[in-house]
């Protein structure tokens, strides 16, 4: 029986997620699988990722393993993927999406985002969450926070923090859903591009990558493609506080997106509806609307603040 090597980041969450996809591969293709855990540059860096290369740092070593043959496929958290794929690689499947919302985890149980007291200290490592939190609750103190999910939860207990913001999907996949105090509505914090989505990556032209496409969940794929098309249209990275979130009603997508200033004082929004079969075009249209509505100038300002 063929053994398929699946590259993944080495964190507990990444390995758990990759095992889920590997099990789907085994069931669908009748193969054996082996995880190939790799430490990425993003995992090694303690400071701001935006200043040293952005979210691509979480995938670089994994993609290199695919390209040089040390792995046959790779599993990524789709929200970690840069706007564009490297030559020779492609995204071949998006399994069914988990909860895309942000999760508020609080030191004192029962609190919600709107119910946090003034000056409460909220930890997050996301430029998007930081900007939108400041726009929504300028009275809160936003504290920079890095580390994997268990590390961030530990910091909530050990450091002077009142709450942390994480992804619902990650907590659920680690069996920590009971820690979620509030699943924050998209109307308050619009989710990150493809948050809650796993992406299976393979080599262009590889028969295995073609066969693995059977794992793709059509509604999830349409939503992820639309959201990623906004990211591509803006040519944005993790130093840009942006969000894109698509919902599917039968065959129609409703796509909402935004760009914000770092301090949350400006939030530019755009939305549109279109057929799921035209997901990429819909995302490109929303990105163009954001750029026309002041997004181009805001992006220039953001890039000056954090040079690429």
Give the mean pLDDT per block of 10 residues along the chain (308 residues). 91 96 97 93 54 63 95 96 94 98 96 97 96 97 94 95 98 97 98 98 97 98 98 88 97 97 97 98 98 96 73
Residue 190 lies in a domain: no
Q: What is the pLDDT of residue 153?
A: 96
| 205 and 86 in a common domain | yes
Tokens of 18: 């990759």
Residue 285 lies in a domain: yes
| 208 and 284 in a common domain | no
Q: What is the pLDDT of residue 97?
A: 98
Residues 241/132, Cβ–Cβ less than 8 Å? yes
Which residue segment(s) compose the domain that 174 sits in?
102-184
| 133 and 88 in a common domain | no
| 203 and 87 in a common domain | yes
278 SS3 class = helix
Residue 23 lies in a domain: yes
Tokens of 95: 């399994």
| 252 and 277 in a common domain | yes
Domain count, the chain: 3
DSSP structure string for 67-130: HTTS-SEEEEEGGGS-SSPPTTEEEEE-PPP---SEEEEESSTT--TTTSPTT-EEEE--HHHH
Distance in angstroms (rounded) separating the CA atoms of residues 221 and 244: 14
| 118 and 5 in a common domain | no
| 86 and 31 in a common domain | yes
Which active-site residues does the annotation give?
80
| 204 and 239 in a common domain | no
Q: What is the pLDDT of residue 304?
A: 84
Residue 191 lies in a domain: no
Q: How many CA atoms lie within 13 A of 100 on its CB side?
A: 24
Q: What is the pLDDT of residue 39?
A: 84
What CATH number is associated with residue 115?
A: 3.40.190.10
Q: What is the pLDDT of residue 52?
A: 45
Q: What is the pTM of this model?
A: 0.93
User: Taking phi first (over 0 means left), then psi (-120 to 50 degrees means alpha), and beta for anything else, what does residue 43 get?
Assistant: alpha
Q: What is the pLDDT of residue 308?
A: 46
| 136 and 64 in a common domain | no
| 208 and 74 in a common domain | yes
């Amino acid at each position: 029986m063929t053994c398929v090597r699946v590259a993944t980041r080495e964190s507990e969450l990444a390995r758990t997620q990759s095992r889920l996809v590997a099990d789907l591969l085994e069931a669908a293709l009748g193969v054996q699988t082996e995880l190939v855990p790799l430490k990425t540059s993003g995992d090694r860096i303690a400071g701001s990722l935006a200043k040293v290369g952005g979210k691509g740092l979480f995938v670089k070593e994994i993609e290199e393993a695919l390209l040089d043959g040390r792995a046959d496929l790779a599993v990524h958290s789709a929200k970690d993927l840069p706007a564009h794929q490297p030559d020779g690689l492609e995204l071949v499947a998006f399994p069914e999406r988990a909860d895309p919302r942000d999760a508020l985890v609080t030191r004192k149980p029962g609190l919600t985002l709107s119910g946090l007291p003034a000056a409460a200290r909220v930890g997050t490592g996301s430029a998007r969450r930081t900007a939108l939190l400041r726009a929504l609750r300028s009275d809160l103190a936003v504290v920079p926070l890095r580390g994997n999910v268990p590390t961030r939860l530990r910091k909530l207990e050990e450091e002077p923090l009142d709450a942390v913001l994480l992804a619902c999907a990650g907590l659920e996949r680690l069996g920590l859903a009971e820690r979620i105090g509030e699943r924050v509505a998209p109307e308050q914090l619009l989710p990150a591009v493809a948050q809650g989505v796993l992406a299976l990556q393979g080599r262009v032209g590889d028969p295995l990558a073609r066969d693995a496409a059977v794992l793709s969940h059509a509604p999830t794929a349409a939503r992820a493609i639309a959201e990623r098309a906004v990211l591509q249209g803006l040519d944005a990275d993790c130093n840009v506080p942006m969000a894109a979130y698509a919902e599917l009603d039968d065959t129609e997508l409703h796509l909402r997106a935004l760009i914000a200033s770092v301090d949350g004082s400006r939030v530019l929004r755009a939305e549109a509806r279109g057929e799921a079969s035209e997901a990429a075009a819909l995302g490109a249209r929303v990105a163009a609307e954001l750029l026309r509505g002041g997004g181009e100038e805001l992006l220039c300002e953001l890039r000056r603040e954090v040079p690429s």
